[in-house]
Amino acid sequence: MLTSDESIASLVRSKQYDSVMRSVPLATAAVVLNSLIVGGMLSGDLPDLWLLCWTVLTVTLGLWNLQQWSVWRRRKRPARVSSSRMHKLTVVGGVWGLLWSALPALLLAHDADGRHQGLLVATITVTLGVGSVCLGGAPRAAYAYVAAMSLGALTGYVASSGALQVLGPLQWLLYAGLIITAVRAVNLNVHARMNAEVRADHQNQLIGLLLRDFEEQGSDLLWEIDASGRLCHVSEQLAVSLGSKAELLNGRSLLAMLGELQTDLREADRESAHTLHQRLTEGQPFRDVMLPMKVGGQQRWWSVTAKPVVDERGTALGWRGVARDVTQARMADRRLAWLAHYDTLTGLTNRAHFRVLLEQALQNCRRLKTAGAVMCLDLDNFKGVNDTLGHPTGDALLIEVGRRLKEAVGKADVVARLGGDEFAVLLRTTGEEVEVSAVAQRILDALREPCMALGSTVPVRTSIGVARFPQDGTSVDEMMQHADLALYDAKANATGTMRYFVQRMGEQVRRRLVLERDLRDALELNQLSLHYQPKVDLATWRIIGFEALLRWQHPQHGNIPPSEFITVAEECGLILSMGAWALQHACAEAATWPEHLQVAVNISPLQVMTEDLPATVEGALRLSGLAPHRLELEITESVFINETRGTVNRLHALRKLGIQIALDDFGTGYSSLAYLRRFPFDTLKIDRAFVRELLISRDARAIVRNILALAKSLRMATVAEGVEEPAQVAVLSAEGCDIVQGYFVARPLPAHEVLPFVRQFRERSRPHMPTGFHLGSTEHATLAGATTLSSVTQPATLA
Ligand SMILES: Nc1nc2c(ncn2[C@@H]2O[C@@H]3COP(=O)(O)O[C@H]4[C@@H](O)[C@H](n5cnc6c(=O)[nH]c(N)nc65)O[C@@H]4COP(=O)(O)O[C@H]3[C@H]2O)c(=O)[nH]1
């Protein structure tokens, strides 16, 4: 690569050398001819030998020059010419000058009669001019030539006589001076131009190398089209990037080629080719025009920048530009934009984008008087699924739910995942109750079937809260809040239902939110306690144990019933710590009771789903020292709704510890009989709803009878809950129930009243059981001689 001034000088010398060599054939021919003419004319006036030698020398030098010329022509021109070669040229110039200077030097002194003066002066003057012109490209050679010739001419003029002796040198000096000045001036010019050319060449090479290097190293590609839009100077890099070869691309129309690369693109993407066409037509420089194309079946994105190339008169010569493959950056941008709008797990609209869409829908509603609705829903059992089956299954469930939701709504509607297990639907085309309800029903139907998530069959339970616009709200926050309130309401009533927002919901939900907040502190602030309700054996009328029931004494709201706060605790996951607390306290309390008394503790389905339940129970027993057979765990049928192999295994593990397991609220749930077969419960608790109806409904009595028979055949003990009247005791006893529990015996007692109650109870005799009980035709119970305790206070006083 050319880098130094010396390199540039050598290129300049090369151009000088070339300019001299180009004139060699003509100049040699002229000189040889000249020397032959002069030789012929002077023959006889000069010694023959001298003349012969001069002519031979001149012709030989001419021939040698020709030979040098032919070598120069045949050889590939040397890019660089050394200064020694230029010296050689100077010497040759000097030798030519000396040869020609010999003529005047010798002849003018000997030409006494002046016969040849005219010819001689004309010849040497012309030869001076011609030689200088031929050597002019290499000024030093020209100077050497002029100097050598001047030596001979001046010597000759001085040795001559007459006017020539004075005027000859003057004339010669004038000519020589003129020639030197002209050669110098021309040469300075030429030299400057050559220098500029060489430097420009040098720079072009350098730029070329840099650009090639730039193309090879970086991601930028250089491209060029001519005035007719055809690609020229296509680099390998550019060709490879276009999936072709440079020789195939050179001369092809850029736009036609892009058209081919864009045929497989979407209409919107193809528009950019049109933009490029427009920019090229406008003739204005442009920057970063985005150009999609498909190369080798892969979507690529190029950012194209270019400016027109014009000549000095402003005529368009074409375009030159840079293209950069920005596919990666574009993909990353798209991904970022996607992430900003969609949920990565389900691919549904995310919360932020949902709010934007809702805002647009509300604006349309105001402008175009349209209507719509927002639905909020979440999965009741999602936390349990995550805790028991693991997060991957939870994720698979969310994906499946998202898919079903999309299927259930219309094309114009938006389904979003707001986070966790919260979903929302935006109906943009209707707010009509009939249509909204139909969509909600389709959603509930779609989610009714259990989902297959990573091999597990997971039942889905959801409720829907709906707020409609314009009537239920005008802002995004208001709409979302109202749909949420409706959802709370739906969940509080029954799972699998939908509720429309109505104004009263606000107050209820606010209370619920306050409860949730305060419940988090309740344990630490010692606001929770356990009350104990006795269970009595019907055969012996002895207390066999107590059921532990949670109580919450709220500082502002007073006594809050478990029916209200247990659901809240389950929803926010607090039930796990509260349940563990209840277990430890109940065990510790029961350990202070007489040995024959059991304690029953309610266990939430969420607790049963957690793997560490057996460890928690074992810990409570160990800490309290309570014998395992004195502990009974009451679980409800809902445990089996999300049943997994783990659930049943856990129950078996608990039984292995020696603990009793009771099935609570039997008869109120789903397919109760199936559950009984799945796990061998020790005790079956008949829900108080049946006991309440016992005296007034034949059906209830028939159900109770069947439950008791079933339990007997499965060798389970039976407990009837909510027994309030002696007549109920009589019937239950007659039907073969083992144990009763209810206000008839006692309301749940604070811990410190348990032992006094037990002592007092022992002293009491079995109550008088009414006889002759039968159901009247109106199904209202009549009980001959029965003491009906309709408003029982504790403890029940029996005659
Ligand atoms: N009308 C009427 N009611 C009677 C009668 N006898 C007892 N009861 C009430 O019936 C409920 C029996 O408890 P449950 O069915 O396990 O139902 C319980 C249980 O499901 C849940 N619960 C209470 N404590 C706990 C606990 O520590 N853990 C869990 N997970 N749940 C609990 O809260 C529910 C309600 O508890 P409580 O309000 O204490 O209500 C208790 C009790 O006070 C009666 O003769 N008539």
Most informative mutation of 721, 723, 729, 741 for ligand 1 (most atoms within 8 A of CB)? 721
pTM score? 0.49
Per-residue pLDDT at 472: 92
Per-residue pLDDT at 208: 64
462-469/498-500 β-pairing: parallel
Contact status, residue 126 vs residue 160, Cβ threshold 8 Å: no
Distance, CA 586 to ligand 1 centroid (Å)? Answer: 15
Ligand 1 binding pocket includes 579 (Cβ within 6 Å): yes
Closest alpha carbon to 679 in 706, 703, 647: 647
Give the position, in ligand 1's atom list, of the atom nearest the Cα of 533.
7
Give how far Cα 292 sits from Cα of 289, 301, 326, 614, 782, Å.
Answer: 10, 4, 10, 62, 88
Distance, CA 750 to ligand 1 centroid (Å)? Answer: 14
Average pLDDT, the chain: 84
Per-residue pLDDT at 782: 33
List all residues 6 or more positions away from 558 whose beta carbon is below 8 Å from its beta carbon. none
Model confidence at 359: pLDDT above 90? yes
Distance, CA 549 to ligand 1 centroid (Å)? Answer: 6
Model confidence at 107: pLDDT above 80? no
Distance, CA 603 to ligand 1 centroid (Å)? Answer: 12
Tell me how far apart the 2 most distant CA atoms of the chain are, in Å: 187
Ligand 1 binding pocket includes 489 (Cβ within 6 Å): no
Model confidence at 340: pLDDT above 80? yes
Residue whose Cα lies nearest atom 33 of ligand 1: it is: 562
- Average pLDDT on 138-146 reads 88
List all residues 6 or more positions away from 330 whose beta carbon is below 8 Å from its beta carbon. 290, 301
Distance, CA 538 to ligand 1 centroid (Å)? Answer: 21
Model confidence at 631: pLDDT above 90? yes
Model confidence at 370: pLDDT above 70? yes
Give how far Cα 453 sits from Cα of 447, 581, 752, Å.
Answer: 13, 33, 49
Closest alpha carbon to 103 in 155, 146, 147: 155
C-beta neighbour count of 481 within 10 angstroms: 18
Give the position, in ligand 1's atom list, of the atom nearest the Cα of 549.
24
Ligand 1 binding pocket includes 604 (Cβ within 6 Å): yes
Model confidence at 576: pLDDT above 70? yes
Distance, CA 278 to ligand 1 centroid (Å)? Answer: 79
660-666/631-636 β-pairing: parallel
Residue, of 198 and 500, whose pLDDT is higher: 500
Per-residue pLDDT at 638: 79
Give the position, in ligand 1's atom list, of the atom nearest the Cα of 550.
24
Residue whose Cα lies nearest atom 8 of ligand 1: it is: 722
- Average pLDDT on 590-614 reads 94
Per-residue pLDDT at 705: 93
pLDDT in tens, 719-733: 999 999 999 999 999
Distance CA 498, CA 208 (A): 73
From the DSSP assignment, how many helices (H) and strands (E) are in the chain?
28, 23
Model confidence at 779: pLDDT above 60? no
Distance, CA 61 to ligand 1 centroid (Å)? Answer: 133
User: What ipTM was reported for this prediction?
Assistant: 0.95
Is 211 exposed, middle or buried (CB count within 10 Å of its CB: 0-12, 13-18, 19+)? middle
Going by pLDDT thresholds of 50, 70 and 90, the confidence category of residue 466 is very high
Closest alpha carbon to 431 in 471, 375, 372: 372
Task: Kindly report which listed range (74-78, 410-414, 685-689) carries the lowest average pLDDT score.
Answer: 74-78
Model confidence at 794: pLDDT above 60? no
Local structure of 597: helix, strand or coil: coil
Contact status, residue 94 vs residue 148, Cβ threshold 8 Å: yes
pLDDT in tens, 409-434: 988 899 999 999 999 999 998 888 99
Distance CA 461, CA 446 (A): 11
Q: Give the tokens for residue 503.
A: 């104004």
Task: Kindly report which listed range (127-136, 432-441, 576-585) carries the lowest average pLDDT score.
Answer: 127-136
Give the position, in ligand 1's atom list, of the atom nearest the Cα of 723.
45
Per-residue pLDDT at 1: 39
Per-residue pLDDT at 672: 56
Distance, CA 547 to ligand 1 centroid (Å)? Answer: 9
Q: What percent of the chain has pLDDT over 90?
A: 35
List all residues 6 or more positions away from 379 whose beta carbon is below 8 Å from its beta carbon. 385, 397, 401, 421, 460, 461, 462
Distance CA 573, CA 41 (A): 131
Per-residue pLDDT at 77: 57
Ligand 1 binding pocket includes 748 (Cβ within 6 Å): yes
Model confidence at 780: pLDDT above 70? no
Distance CA 242, CA 257 (A): 9
Residue, of 376 and 677, whose pLDDT is higher: 376
Distance, CA 571 to ligand 1 centroid (Å)? Answer: 18
Most informative mutation of 563, 575, 602 for ligand 1 (most atoms within 8 A of CB)? 602
